[in-house]
Structure 1
Amino acid sequence: MPKIGEYAILPISIPLTPAYPKTTTHTLYLRPHAPKIPTANDERSLFVVNVPIDSTVAHLRAVFATLVGAGRVEDVTFEHERKTMVPSREVVTVGKASKKRKRGSKGGEDNGGAELPQIWDRELRRSGSTAVVVLVDAKSVELALKAVRKLHKSSKKEKEKDRSWPVWGEGLEGKKPKLGSARYLAHHKLRYPDETVLKMNVDAFMTEFNRKEEERTKKERTKKEKRMRNMPDEDGFVTVTRGGRTGPARSEEAEQKKKEMDEKERKKREELQSAGFYRFQVREQRKAEQGELVKKFEEDRKRVGAMKEKRGRFRPER
């Protein structure tokens, strides 16, 4: 079997289209999935490189159905879905409205079904992108790679035009939205949805948004109340909030809390004074101190004068 490194080569036949009225061949590269961070499904998964830009889950299911039979593919995850962890979806046009059909659950944010209208009827892949195909068991992976080897052996005995590669999109005719000009025509129509449908989508989206905001606010309020329950004030009391409290504060905790608050208040006062917020108070305090010093000086001077006067009137006995 032709291989490039550890990848098995699987050519697929691309049917003719109005834009390119010739049958051509596209090449897929397969290998057992071996990510850097192992998962539970690695041994029954295949890593597929160079998927066509119009790939869907149904397309890859059909390819593997020709290799190992129908019902062997459990799930398909495309490259951008692994990076963003968003469920793969397909948009099905129903009249003027559009609805989403979820394909599996890959995690990510759940909007509770509140989605804005889509403006494309199908999603296209980046050229040369990858996908992970999860099969039902590890034996199916071996069977798929073995079927690829058999295709290459049989193709050597056949002429170029008779080679039986899997046909891309076989059995899906009419089941998927068209590409080309039909895709852009559908895009133009989807850009202007029915007013009723648009209003319903916007109302549902905003309702879900408001619900999540209320939940977030409620969680923040609950966290704040829990902090208040465990934090005694300077008198040793614990704030009782809705839902009860954890218990009375111990005297050691209350004393420690009071010291912390006093120290915090002292530091804050020093910072404010150093920043000049209470400069006028400092100035008044200095004036008062200077006045006290002058007053004490005058009192001392009078006291000394009185002592000198008293000493001058003293007459010792002879």
Structure 2
Amino acid sequence: MPKSRTPVQVGEFTALPVVIPSKALGKDVEHYIYLKAYEPKIPDELSPRALLLVNIPVTATEAQIRQLLTTQLGGGHVQTVHFASQDAASSSSTTSALIATTPSGPSQKDVASTLGKRKRPAQESSSDIANRLSTKTVPSTTPTQLHVSGSTAIAVFLDRASRELTLRACAKLSRAVASGKSKSLVWSAGLEATKQPPLGLARYQAQRSLTFPPRADLLRLVDQYMTTYGQLEEARNRESAKKRAEPDEDGFITVTRGTRGVVKTDEADAIKKKVEEKKKKEQGLEDFYRFQTRQRRKEEAGQLVRRFEDDRRRVKEMGNSRRSGRPE
């Protein structure tokens, strides 16, 4: 019976044969990773040097993919690796939303500012502190992230030449394995034990230790959270005090929680002065024309007549009610 040939090309993808050692089965498992140049619908500055990997192992990590493509395959240097199953933004078509970029160092402007005169740091707003507080969460209890079978990943190289070098090396190895001139690559071969994810019983032991962290670590996390929460309360009180000290456009003072009805004398005088100045400016435009003055006086006289008629009617009703209640 003739030996089945190893697939070399599947559509636009190049098949990369790898062997995954399995202690549970007692033998090696043959696996195929399919690679091609990443070409999104909306290309950007990162897509020309990105490589799409399909059907990665469920326990794949960034260190393992770096070691496979760069060290064993002899391809270009991998800058970063992004797993689509770990990001909710994987449905986006742009590479920038899919790739976790490497954090950059401080710029020359930041370094120059630190060498000059020390300045008082600007106070953070309550919204900024609230965003920082949302990041103070309990660490994950999962030691390694397991991917869904058939998951994809995107490897970003330093330049386009590195990506093309990796694709050519992958095609060359695939043809050599298909013709029997070479062997498949071994998954995680030569990788340090510290960079390999724990599997089997070791993974469950690591998960149990993460589920019950040491008491000192929990106290440290709680202290950090409460410190940030205290800063948030101080920022909110500072913003509330600022609102109490400044009247709005209508001359009203915002009543906020925590005032307790206590206002300093100098602050009250300053607020009263601002309100009076605003009223003076508005009064200068009320009686600009003579007919406005006549109309205002006519309205005031009409109000006085109406009040007099109301008072006379009220007195008459009171007299009628007294006479009706007197016995004959």
Q: TM-score range by the shorter chain?
A: 0.5 to 0.7
Match of 1:38 in 2: 43
Counterpart-to-counterpart distance in 1, 2:249 and 2:165: 65
Q: Tell me which residue corresponds to 2:84.
A: 79
Q: Which residue of 2 aligns with 1:283?
A: none
| Contact residue 10 and residue 148 of structure 1 kept, 8 A | yes
Which residue matches 2:175?
Answer: 153
Is the partner of 1:164 in helix, strand or coil? coil
Secondary structure of the structure 2 residue equivalent to 1:133: strand
> What CA distance in whole angstroms lies between the structure 2 residues aligned with 1:25 and 1:253?
90
Q: Distance in 2 between matches of 1:255 and 1:50?
A: 78
Within 5 Å, which residues of 2 pair with 1:68-217?
A: 68-69=74-75, 72-83=77-88, 104-105=102-103, 114=136, 116-158=138-180, 163-175=182-194, 176-212=196-232, 214-215=234-235, 217=236
Alignment of 1:267-282 (within 5 A): none
Q: Distance in 2 between matches of 1:193 and 1:119?
A: 9
Q: Is 1:52 aligned to 2:57, yes or no? A: yes
User: Paired residue for 2:12?
Assistant: 6
8 Å contact from structure 2 (residues 64, 188) kept in 1: yes
Q: Is the CA contact 1:32–1:45 (under 8 Å) kept in the aligned structure 2?
A: yes
Deviations 1:90-143 (A, max 9, x none): xxxxxxxxxxxx99449xx76698553443332222322221101011011111
Contact 1:33 1:42 in 2 (8 A): yes
Kept in 1, the 8 Å contact 2:18–2:30? The answer is yes
Instruction: List runs of 5+ in structure 2 lacking aligned partners.
Output: 1-6, 91-99, 105-130, 253-268, 287-308, 318-328
What TM-score do the two structures reach when normalised by structure 1?
A: 0.58
Give how far 1:54 is off.
0.9
Which amino acid is the alignment partner of residue 39 of structure 1? D
Separation in 1 of the partners of 2:10 and 2:241? 58
Following superposition, the deviation at residue 223 of structure 1 comes to: 9.3
Give the structure, 1 or 2, with the largest relative contact order (CA under 8 Å, sep 6 or more): 2
Residue aligning to 2:113: none
SS in 2 for 1:75: strand
**1:229–1:240 contact (8 Å) kept in structure 2:** no
What whole-Å deviation, never above 9, does each CA across 1:241-288 have from its counterpart, x for those lacking one?
8xxx9xx869579989xxxxxxxxxxxxxxxxxxxxxxxxxxxxxxx9
- Secondary structure of the structure 2 residue equivalent to 1:172: coil
Q: CA deviation at 1:53?
A: 1.3
SS at match of 1:55: coil
Give the drift of 1:12. 1.5
SS in 1 for 2:164: helix
Pair 1:129–1:207, CA change in 2 (3 A): farther
Q: Is the 8 A contact 2:75 2:163 kept in 1?
A: no
Q: Kindly indicate whether the alpha-carbon contact (under 8 Å) linking 1:116 and 1:202 is maintained by their aligned counterparts in 2.
A: no
CA distance in 2, matches of 1:222, 1:3: 69
Whether the 8 Å contact between 1:45 and 1:133 is mirrored in structure 2 is yes
Letter in 2 for 1:68: G
Aligned-partner SS, 2:186:
coil
- Code of the residue aligned with 1:129 in structure 2: it is S
Match for 1:9: what amino acid?
A
Deviation at 1:50?
A: 1.8
Q: Who is 1:265 aligned against?
A: none
Matched, 1:64 2:69: yes
Shift of 1:51: 1.5
Identity rate, percent: 31
CA distance in 2 between partners of 1:253 and 1:47 (Å): 73
What is the aligned-residue RMSD (CA, Å)? 4.4
CA–CA separation in structure 2 for the residues paired with 1:44 and 1:76: 12
- C-alpha distance 198-223 of structure 1, shift in aligned 2 (>3 A): same
